[in-house]
Amino acid sequence: MMQPSTTDPAKITAMHTILNSAGETTDGYDPGLPDEELLHYYRSMKLVRAFDDICLKLQRSGRIGFSIPNLGIEACQIGAASALRKDDWFFPSYRDFGMALYHGVKAVDMMHNMFGNAHDSAKGRQMPVHFSFTDPIKFASISSPLGTQLPQAVGAAHAAKLRGEDTVALASFGDGGTSTLGFHSALTFAGVWKSPVVFLCQNNGYAISLPAHEQTASDGYAIKGMAYGVRAVTVDGNDVFAMREATLEAAAYARAGDGPTLIEAVTFRMGGHSTSDDPSTYVPKEVVDEWAQKDPIDRFEKFLAARGLWDAAKGEATTAECLAEIDAAAKEAAATAPPKLETIFSDVYEEIPAHIRKQGEASFELQKRLGEAAAGDGAFPL
């Protein structure tokens, strides 16, 4: 078990690892998980990679406008998500496909958001990758501005505490998010109130193109927890078991009423910040090559192979199954109609104000005369 301290910097910044690059666990560690769960971890990580792969192709072919690569950080997401219950709150960043997939959100429901169609939970009001779900987990809407989800997570967690619930809120964010006011405000309040929050900083090396050493002068990001009186740990983010254990302990600490934990997961995105980005212009090739040797899925495959749960043929079959599932989801979402005009006005007010009703009636009348406006052709519809 980990024994982190909020008063000993050496313990906070020491990297916690269980599964090494050879797929071997330290000190004979046994995760105590059945084979079915271990394989669910594996398939979830492969689903993330398949979702990434197909979304990149969709964006490059002009069928969706945007996507966020997750290549290389799959274990960080899956390990953390596996430690939480379905009745806990997730306040994710835009690089958290895996948390939703692990807990049973269907790929097709995620693809509906990528296309912004009529079945999109946001009804086309959000950008692609900005998922929001209430079932099977409480997955708060992703937002593009950095750090906004952090105070929201503290608010939800504190409300649950006031109601006497043992619910935990997970707030996930990148290293760039630590430079925001939201990070400071969230950790300040969570530390004072002892709110049941797990702050997960996914330190993937770059805040868009800004390297970590230019992002902060501190010794990593976990150490920042000391200033707020927040328990903190540094974890190997490419080690799914270390991520699971750190998040389990943080959640148990929060449920016991002891307060929040800041987890710094050291990982690396082996793709761009987004599909609008070319990482080759700012990430040295040797850095990418170095991290490719730490690929979290390769590492986990070696662990599974030692248990007789994986071989190359099973790996290829899983890859093919995941790609087929995501491909089918993309085709279904692409064939789904866009949201109807009335969705602009629905889900906003319980009772529509007179001025909004007047605007809506004018819009419907215009649509009746001129037909449905076609998006993306560059022509002003009026």
Query: Residues with catalytic annotation?
Result: 269, 273, 282
User: Is the N-terminal amide bond of 136 cis, ω within 30° of 0?
Assistant: yes
For residue 153, the SS3 value is: helix
Round to whole Å and give the CA distance between 269 and 277: 12
CB 61 within 8 A of CB 44: no
Q: What is the DSSP string of 241-292?
A: HHHHHHHHHHHHHHHTT---EEEEEE---SS-SSTT--GGGTS-HHHHHHHH
* DSSP-derived secondary structure letter, 179: G
CA-nearest of 212, 270, 259, 193 to 232 is: 259
Q: State which amino acid sits at residue 350.
A: E
Retrieve residue 222's tokens: 């976990």
* DSSP-derived secondary structure letter, 42: H
Round to whole Å and give the CA distance between 321 and 317: 6
Retrieve residue 59's tokens: 């964006």
Place of tokens 């987004």: 274
CB 81 within 8 A of CB 101: no
